[in-house]
Amino acid sequence: MTTILIAYRNFVRNGRRFVLLGLAIAGGFFVVTALQSLIAGVTSQINIRGARFYGGSVMILGYQKNPGLAKIGDEGPVLKAIENSGVRPEIVARRVLYGNDGVVFFNGDSVRMRRVIGMDWSVEGPEIRKMEFIAGDPNGMSDPHGILISDVTAKRTGARVGDQVTLQVTRDGGAIDTGTFIVKAIFREASIFGYYTVYVDRGQLNLLLGRPAGEEDMIGLYLRDYRQADEVAARVLTAMSALMPVFPPLHNQSELDSARSAPYQGFRYGTLTTMGFMSEIKTMIDALTLVSYAILALLFVVIVAGIVNLYRVIIYERTKELGTMRAVGMQRAQVRNLILVEAFFLAVCSIAFGLALSLGVLEILSLFRLNAVAGFDIFLDRGHLSWVMNLDTLGFDAALIALVTLLGAWSPARSAQAIEPVVALSAE
């Protein structure tokens, strides 16, 4: 305790010596923390939007080779596999996903849909309600004849909340069928996730497609932490393999397409994460993450070099002081620990300042609306920059910086403990 108190007094008394290095460490920690928080925010937005669009953080997909349909043949074994895997998702969603052949008609105008999503509002309502709605009440989707349309579709057709629109689909047998739905709410969503997407009741969409009302194309798992998606997908696939024929582990759309085109009979099942459907975006995020760690590595070099040089000067200037401490009974180990504790105080103060700076700058950046930036909307939260400061990543970075600071001070500390009292006291 005495060593800590002396180190604290020395650190405060000689604070000006540490200012420049402290600012360099704080600045580096600020850059790394801000960049990683922005990357985490972008990743979070992509995963949240992707989960709503695809039907979960992890999708369980079923395919029937002939006639080549996406279909969960028997949901019983799939649900049993989820239970056996030990996974506890927040929501287990059943969906029917209809491709780019759907058309919405209203008042003589029409818009072709990229995706028609059949869902159960009683199950997925809590997630879908998190979208940005600019008109209407999404809770009206408890009516099986309700439909949610995007602001782009509403603008192109002139449809408003309460209007009756017509949805045209092609049945599995090839015939064209139409159904009428009432617009319950209009949402605003990022381009790739919502411009040409509509949400309707799963049972009603099945009837339009000529299928039994309770059928589903896939089962989606909404997770509390999207970062667990890869692990959950692997665990569920392992549990499924004991109960039904499965594809090999799938990591992206290309692997899924290859697995579907391979020869097999009957049904096959597989798992794929949200990011697996967006491999290009995942590659970009991974590259940005590597850049952040490259900056962190560069910061380590600056810290080590700065600490070593700083303490060489400090120890030279404090030779008599250290010699006096040794002369009055301070042991060599205590002198070494004194230097290390001072370095630890430097790391803690620098990290705290860098963290405070990160929080302030990120909060200010999130106040600005960035909707006008083309193609940037998929990364935004209601038009604002989103950031997430993950405590595990933050703690890991802070611990590394503290450790590197101590390593940088280790050699000077060893030199300090080697100072002989007689030599130190006789030094000029």
Kindly report which listed range (58-62, 65-69, 154-158) carries the lowest average pLDDT score: 65-69
Q: CB–CB of 117/95 below 8 Å?
A: yes
* pTM (two decimals): 0.81
Q: State in Å, rounded, how far the first CA of the chain is from the last one.
A: 31
Per-residue CA distances from 391 to 40, 366, 388 (Å):
11, 19, 9
Per-residue buried b or exposed e for 24-54, using 16+ beta carbons within 10 Å of the residue's own CB: ebbbbbbbbbbbbbbbbbbbbbbbbbbbbbb
Residue 62 CA neighbour count, 13 Å, CB half:
25
pLDDT digits (tens, 9 = 90+) for 110-124: 999 989 999 999 999
Per-residue CA distances from 410 to 208, 221, 399 (Å):
73, 49, 16
Per-residue CA distances from 15 to 161, 187, 266 (Å):
64, 55, 74
Residues 6+ apart with CB under 8 A from 250: 256, 259, 270, 271, 272, 276
Q: What is the per-residue pLDDT for 43?
A: 86
Residues 6+ apart with CB under 8 A from 214: 203, 206
Q: For all residues of the chain together, what is the average pLDDT?
A: 86
Cis? peptide before 421, omega within 30° of 0: no
Helix (H, G, I), strand (E, B) or coil at 63: strand
Q: What is the per-residue pLDDT for 320?
A: 65
- Taken in order 33, 37, 43, 47, the sign of the CA dihedral is positive
Whether 56 has a pLDDT exceeding 80, the answer reads yes
Whether 201 has a pLDDT exceeding 90, the answer reads yes
Report the candidate in 150, 128, 156 with the shortest Cα–Cα distance to residue 140.
128
Q: Is pLDDT larger for residue 394 or for residue 324? A: 394
Kindly report which listed range (11-25, 33-47, 273-287) carries the lowest average pLDDT score: 11-25
d(CA 24, CA 27): 5
Whether 78 has a pLDDT exceeding 70, the answer reads yes
Q: What is the per-residue pLDDT for 324?
A: 67
Question: What's the average model confidence in pLDDT over 84-108?
Answer: 92
Whether 426 has a pLDDT exceeding 60, the answer reads no
Kindly report which listed range (136-145, 178-187, 210-219, 287-296) carries the lowest average pLDDT score: 287-296
Whether 102 has a pLDDT exceeding 70, the answer reads yes
pLDDT digits (tens, 9 = 90+) for 342-393: 889 889 999 999 999 999 999 998 888 876 555 667 777 777 888 999 899 8
Q: Is pLDDT larger for residue 3 or for residue 207? A: 207
Q: What is the per-residue pLDDT for 423?
A: 55
d(CA 94, CA 9): 64
Whether 54 has a pLDDT exceeding 80, the answer reads yes
Whether 136 has a pLDDT exceeding 90, the answer reads yes
Whether 38 has a pLDDT exceeding 60, the answer reads yes
Per-residue CA distances from 20 to 36, 116, 307, 310 (Å):
24, 58, 11, 10
pLDDT band at 410 (very low <50, low <70, confident <90, very high): confident
Whether 245 has a pLDDT exceeding 80, the answer reads yes
Per-residue buried b or exposed e for 403-420, using 16+ beta carbons within 10 Å of the residue's own CB: ebbbbbbbebbebbbebe
pLDDT digits (tens, 9 = 90+) for 249-285: 999 888 888 888 888 888 899 999 998 888 778 888 8
Q: Is pLDDT larger for residue 332 or for residue 37? A: 37
Question: What's the average model confidence in pLDDT over 409-418?
Answer: 75
Tell me the residue type at 361.
Answer: V
Whether 427 has a pLDDT exceeding 70, the answer reads no
